[in-house]
Amino acid sequence: MFFQILPQAGEIVKLCYTWPMSIRARILLFFIGLVVLATIINLMRTRRLKEEYALLWLLAALALVATPILINPLDRIAFWLQIEYPPALFLGLGVIGLLLIIFQLTLVISKFSDQIRTLTQEVGILRERLESLERLADPQASVLEEEEPQKGAGEAIHDPSSITRDP
C-alpha cells in the first residue's frame, strides 16, 4: 500500500510546481538579489572586498537576481533531470556554490599562512644581522651586555649559594 501512494505523491509534487510562483514573491526575491548585488559591488568599490575574492560572491548575487526571473525554465530543467522536487536542485546548487566559496577562502588562507611563515623567518634573520652590526659598531656595549647584572639585596636572600652555614 505504501508503494502505491508514492507515484501519486510524485504527481502531486509535479502539479504543485507547474504553477508559476506568485508575482509578489518573484519581485521580493528579485529585490533581495539586487540588494545583495549592490552590497557586494559597494564593498568592492570601497576596497573592503578585493576583486580576486569577489568573483564567486558576484556569481552568487547574480544567481539571486536571475532565479526569480528564470524560475519556470529552472523547474523544467529540474524535471528533465528527473528531480521531482525542483527546490532540491536549487538547494544543491546553493550548497555547491558555498563549497566553492569556502574552497577559495581556504586557498587564500593557505597562501597567507606560507607568506607569514616566510616573513617571520626573514624578520628573525634581519634582527640577527642588526644585532651583529650593532655589536661591531659599539664593542663597549656588547661587553656590558655579556656581563652578569648586579644582584640586588632582595635577590641575594633567595639565592641558596649566598646562604652561609655555621659548622
Tens digits of residue pLDDT in 84-109: 888 899 899 999 989 999 999 999 99
| CA-based nearest residue to 43, from 33, 57, 28 | 57
Helix 71-80 and helix 2-18, axial crossing angle in degrees, nearest 10 = 150
pLDDT tens digit at each of 167 positions of the chain:
444 444 454 554 454 445 567 899 999 999 999 999 999 999 999 999 888 888 888 988 999 999 999 988 988 999 999 998 888 998 999 999 899 999 999 999 999 999 999 999 999 999 999 999 998 988 775 555 555 555 555 444 454 554 555 54
Task: Give the helix, strand, coil percentages of the chain, each rounded to 5.
Answer: 85, 0, 15
Strands of 34-166 (E only): list them: none
- The pTM assigned to this predicted structure is 0.60
Tell me if 149 sits within 8 A of 156, measured CB to CB: no
Report how far apart, in Å, the C-alpha atoms of 110 and of each of 51, 105, 116, 134 are.
Answer: 19, 9, 10, 36
